Structure 1
Amino acid sequence: MTTKKSKIIYTLTDEAPLLATYSLLPIIRTFSAPAGIEITTSDISVAARILAEFSDHLKPEQQVPDNLAELGRLTQKPDTNIIKLPNISASVPQLIKAIEELQAKGYAVPDYPGSPKTEEEKTIKLRYGKVLGSAVNPVLREGNSDRRAPAAVKRYAQKHPHSMGEWSQASQSHVSHMREGDFYHNEKSMTLDKSCTVSMVLETKSGKSIVLKENVALEKHEVVDSMYMSKKALCDFYEEQMEDARKSGVMFSLHVKATMMKVSHPIVFGHAVKVFYKDAFAKHGKLFDELGVNVNNGLSSIYDKISVLPQTQREQIKKDLHACHEHRPELAMVDSAKGITNFHVPSDVIVDASMPAMIRNSGKMWGADGRPKDTKAVMPESTFARIYQEMINFCKTHGAFDPATMGTVPNVGLMAKKAEEYGSHDKTFEIPEAGTANIVDENGKVLLEQHVEQGDIWRMCTVKDDAIRDWVKLAVTRARLSGMPAVFWLDEYRPHENELIKKVRTYLKDHDTKGLDIQIMSQTRAMRYTLERVIRGGNTISVTGNILRDYLTDLFPIMELGTSAKMLSIVPLMAGGGLFETGAGGSAPKHVQQLTEENHLRWDSL
């Protein structure tokens, strides 16, 4: 008789989690060895993924296996256990830095072609696209999400409460979102009655038929969405909000997630930069194009590209950029001392981290003078922006939350099989020409149709039926085990979520819910209900879609614990295994500082 040795796969990533690993992993191995558990590692860092993708450019001894693909295969096995550390959702500037580092170490990976001209450059850009954004999570998250604060961590936070900024009813801070023309207002959704293969086809007004995506296999009972954001409506919205912020004397800040939403949000970010500095772009736009400036990469792209120009020309451009600030609102700063604004690079201000920080800081962000100031937080897409405004309204009325007494808000998130917007990257397109954007099945039948203009952002999202069934089951299980009320945050006026509501009501009947408090509410109502309980010490499970899973599992832990790094994050894989996520990502200045000063590596972020 042979006994199979238990194995846990521990992923190696980047920055703070990797540094912390050098301290934490030996401790884990020491504790697990007597139990007969083997800990193996798998390198899925940005560098490792670049090398795996471009192994055909490397010497044989430099080649590395595609660890991410292998882990993806292992998630389909019932005995797989993976500890997943936070990984970088690389932006283009981060990717370029990683490429430069690898090239400096003798790896002949190709340069990243920002504006590809040849077929070879287009292919290289497509291949690098696999490394950009949230490339890891959709592969590994083959189950739905169960995130909660462990009881011991919650008790410690209550006993040793972190600081919270005071709130004033006179605060001018608020959230601004689009009221027309965004994805929420331009969404269509349906549930398929049979499996099919679809294509995304643009029928242009000039008579061309452009296939943007083909051979997307969809399953019976799958929910399919078509939605677009209007470029004109977005730019008009930015202009209005910038003028409103200027007149009211509050700072302007933009909150997107250009790392995860690697196709749509850099475009949304780029339009904001271009509108803010429209006078400079009107004067130098042709030169910027010739230099290869990509405004989607922020102001840093402009400064980087103009560095090759003669000094007098360079200084004139900088002067013209600075002149734009005279008739624009003050910008929120990322680093006041270095003069780095909200528009420097798209990955500097990530909504799920930046909004909780702002709310915890009395609704203020940092100004150019290094002082906190009331802020207009601009989140163009209205679908989820409302939840932050609801929390701000609550804080203005009731004051700041008290970590010593507030309740807890665990989350059950719909995440499996690339659910919803977070699985839409390969089905998101900037429309090249006005026309009709159709999702068409293999028989030529148009399933969903949208009328779009040049520059609009069109995407298709999907959710598998078995993922929804599993999500509902997990919600019922957590409600039963915890004894907490569970609220599905679903808006019946949003077509996609209306389809989900029908399924949730159906699948709840498959479970014994006697004695359980399970409700369905719109996002704003669910937030209000949850906060009214939280402030009295009540606990409430939030049951949400994929984006809100991400947002709320930062928002509430940061209020409750001061950090989201100490959450218990479990993904019961649908095939039977387990994915255990731990810690918080980010750069590692504190780790390096402590190492140089004390020769000690901290690992509390894990």
Structure 2
Amino acid sequence: MATIIYTHTDEAPLLATYSFLPIIEAYAAKAGVEVETRDISLAGRIIAQFPDRLTDDQRQSDDLAELGELAMTPDANIIKLPNISASVPQLKAAVKELQEQGYDLPDYPENPQSDEDKEIRARYGKVMGSAVNPVLREGNSDRRAPSSVKAYAKAHPHRMGAWSPESKTNVATMGKDDFRSNEQSVVIESDDTLRIEHVAADGTVTVLRPEVKVQAGEVVDGTFMNVAALRRFLAEQIARAKAEDVLFSVHLKATMMKVSDPIIFGHVVQAFFPTLFEQYGAALKAAGISPNDGLGALLSAVTSLPEGDAIKAAVQQGLDDGPDLAMVDSDKGITNLHVPSDVIVDASMPAMIRTSGHMWGPDGEEHDTLAVIPDSSYAGVYQTVIDDCRAHGAFDPATMGSVPNVGLMAKAAEEYGSHDKTFEVPAAGVVRVVDGAGETLIEHTVEPGDIWRACQTKDEPIRDWVKLAVTRARATGAPAVFWLDETRSHDAILIAKVRSYLPDHDTDGLTIEIMAPADATAYSLERIRRGEDTISVTGNVLRDYNTDLFPILELGTSAKMLSVVPLMNGGGLFETGAGGSAPKHVQQLVKENYLRWDSLGEFFALAASFEHLAGHAGNRGAQVLADTLDRATGTFLENDKSPTRRLGGIDNRGSHFYLALYWAQELAAQTEDSDLAAAFKPLAETLAAKEQQIVDELLAVQGGPADIGGYYRPDAEKATGVMRPSATFNETLASL
């Protein structure tokens, strides 16, 4: 039997799975397609790391590792929903919840000293940050808005905030002494094993990473951020925001960049509250309270300290003395500095640009903002968009073009910060990368506290990336632009490789350009305003940014994108959009039994998965499922059956019912497979006849609280009960 793997992940996508997966399983089975599940949630990943501490009933397999092996085979067909890329506060919260559920897990050691604590810290390190994506993404990314979604967005444009030519919103970035300016890159000539080491001023050598295996043709980069320069920069921007009377906000990637960006976030917290840390820094450190975890964790932890009240007063004084902080939730007093994973740059910056360049202030109103993005690698992209909006006004979703993306990410390409090659420098000296023969390839002079990091990009993924870019340009006729800056060390090497590999493909009649990111942004925006499409061909981090930036402007969300990863060994990985809004949706469900999560991304990924299966396994029924699901999704959009914005309309569960109805009708009406048509005709008729009854049952549960038995690890029985409240629908589906 042909098989699709559907992943259990976290938060709103996981809750939606409890409702949608039974529909998928029932429909797929009729066409001889088996749907299996694997748990790659944060809680599941944690549990898999500690089998030695758990009972037989509690243990579970390392599903992520299993899928990583599957992704390297031609048979892979994996649907991946958004998952938590855990920051330290999220990890701690998940561990606490699991402990309360009876799992004998150790606390996360903040400052491990013993060998046991270091070993525990290493296990937790495997599940933090972007732990899932590098394992599964054995191919490069093809991400675009399906034509049906784009057509719907043009016919029903989402709201865009007006822009004023006098807007004071801007991006602030370092421009020097940062990761971008200090980058050094080399191409490895032959397979080797490198070593990363720190050489102190007195000549003492400390090995930071003993073995980094590399292949011939691979690009290896090393860089660092000068922390003294960072702190000067932050102090200047805090003063600037105060002087310009705009909100202060910082935008980082404390999830994917799980080591470097939480440290930078901690420096921002310290810079904003200098008096607090001058007076109480030692006491906070002695109590194990780290600014890297954010203001929220600090305020919660100090209640048990003798100086707790004084520390809280110092925090309030800092808020009074500084510029107004941008808010995550002004009603609850949650600031931009409360939680490092609350303001993720790729989601927060497009949302700000879409909302007139505004963020929410402490007064609950919108205000112009100074958006601080310390590293200058891609900050210019956002400044270019802001300048364009200031000059030309907001974009018009009814007429604007698209910017689909071809992203370099296979084999953990450019995975800065998501691995164990990032270090907070312990002492003055030199950090260097040394090859197997003892030759120094990369070397930086560093000071205590500087943040040094390295990454790898193998040659095979680069070749595949170029091929995919040409393939998409040929399929669409749109220009393909490689967003590469010849003045940056890593990009200069990639430009040479791109120019070397392009002649391997037929590019006659195609427009293929290479531009620095800010220039590529300006070029794409000019075309967008004319209603023209432009393919952005980018590295991994910029892929993450662009596949939120442009969809949020075009569609109002990045969750409605089709994300296909053609795996290099012939399999397929189908991703379902972004999960940035997932936490708020869970909070709403628990409060009023209403889940606003839109599963449209899941619909697109599922259709692409069926289509891939049809071609790979020769399953005609899978192709029928794909074709009918595509048509059903078109009807779903045309009839506007996505979750409504507020209580009283259909939510995620109602949207799944309507997708099931339209899909059954399409299957019953199709002529390619008479057996499938006969199987689905009674279901289609029954669902249509009982439509109002089912909708009434789904609406009846709204308004009161919902108990799902846990945030990071819901109770399966409770979550199923909450997400499948219509007995009529459940019974009708079971009859299939």
TM-score bin, normalised by smaller chain: over 0.9
Q: Distance in 1 between matches of 2:304 and 2:113?
A: 21
Q: Does 1:386 align with 2:380?
A: yes
Q: Does 1:452 align with 2:446?
A: yes
Structure 1 residue 414: Cα displacement: 0.3
Moved more, 281-290 or 263-272: 281-290
Q: Distance in 2 between matches of 1:404 and 1:68?
A: 41
Note the 1:432-451 alignment, pairs <5 A.
432-451=426-445
- Helix, strand or coil for the counterpart of 1:557? helix
Aligned to 2:225: 229
Q: Distance in 1 between matches of 2:504 and 2:283?
A: 63
Q: Does 1:533 align with 2:527?
A: yes
Aligned to 1:406: 400
Structure 1 residue 290: Cα displacement: 1.4
- Helix, strand or coil for the counterpart of 2:267? helix
Aligned to 2:345: 351
Alignment equivalent of 2:554, drawn from 556, 560, 580: 560
Q: Distance in 2 between matches of 1:385 and 1:258?
A: 16
Deviations 1:508-555 (A, max 9, x none): 000000011111011111000000000010011000000110000001
Deviations 1:36-86 (A, max 9, x none): 111000011111111110011111222110000000000111011000000
Q: Does 1:515 align with 2:565?
A: no
Note the 1:332-343 alignment, pairs <5 A.
332-343=326-337
Structure 1 residue 425: Cα displacement: 2.5
Deviations 1:145-191 (A, max 9, x none): 00000000000000000000000110000000002100111011111
Aligned to 1:374: 368
Q: Does 1:589 align with 2:587?
A: yes
Structure 1 residue 600: Cα displacement: 7.1
Aligned to 1:483: 477
Q: Does 1:51 align with 2:47?
A: yes
Structure 1 residue 263: Cα displacement: 0.3
AA at the equivalent of 2:21: L
User: Contact conserved, 1:410 with 1:540, CA < 8 A, in 2?
Assistant: yes
- Helix, strand or coil for the counterpart of 1:579? strand
AA at the equivalent of 1:529: Y
AA at the equivalent of 1:309: L
Alignment equivalent of 2:488, drawn from 477, 485, 494: 494
AA at the equivalent of 1:120: E
Alignment equivalent of 2:86, drawn from 74, 87, 90: 90
Moved more, 102-111 or 508-517: 102-111
Aligned to 1:132: 128
User: Contact conserved, 1:202 with 1:212, CA < 8 A, in 2?
Assistant: yes
Deviations 1:395-417 (A, max 9, x none): 01110000000001100000001
User: Contact conserved, 1:251 with 1:331, CA < 8 A, in 2?
Assistant: yes
Q: Does 1:198 align with 2:194?
A: yes
User: Contact conserved, 1:332 with 1:341, CA < 8 A, in 2?
Assistant: yes
- Helix, strand or coil for the counterpart of 1:228? strand
Q: Distance in 2 between matches of 1:21 and 1:325?
A: 41
- Helix, strand or coil for the counterpart of 2:35? strand
Q: Does 1:295 align with 2:295?
A: no
Aligned to 1:186: 182
Structure 1 residue 309: Cα displacement: 2.5
Runs of 5+ in structure 2 lacking a partner? 596-646, 660-736
- Helix, strand or coil for the counterpart of 1:420? coil
Alignment equivalent of 1:577, drawn from 571, 581, 584: 571
Aligned to 2:622: none
Aligned to 1:11: 7
User: Contact conserved, 2:266 with 2:291, CA < 8 A, in 1?
Assistant: yes
Structure 1 residue 595: Cα displacement: 4.0
CA, structure 1 residues 7+599, in 2 after alignment: closer, same or farther (shift >3 Å)? farther
The number of residue pairs the alignment matches comes to: 600
Structure 1 residue 323: Cα displacement: 1.2
AA at the equivalent of 1:486: A
Aligned to 1:65: 61
Structure 1 residue 289: Cα displacement: 1.3
Aligned to 1:246: 242
Greater CA radius of gyration, 1 or 2?
2
Q: Distance in 1 between matches of 2:649 and 2:516?
A: 51
Moved more, 265-274 or 103-112: 103-112
Point out which structure has higher relative CO (alpha carbons under 8 A, 6+ apart). Answer: 1
Alignment equivalent of 2:95, drawn from 87, 93, 99: 99
Aligned to 2:689: none
Taking structure 2 as the reference length, the TM-score comes to: 0.80
Q: Distance in 1 between matches of 2:287 and 2:649?
A: 45
Identity %: 58
Cα RMSD for the two superposed structures:
1.5
Q: Does 1:602 align with 2:652?
A: yes
Q: Distance in 1 between matches of 2:441 and 2:569?
A: 31
Aligned to 1:78: 74
Q: Distance in 1 between matches of 2:417 and 2:314?
A: 40
Note the 1:419-430 alignment, pairs <5 A.
419-422=413-416, 425-430=419-424
Structure 1 residue 583: Cα displacement: 3.4
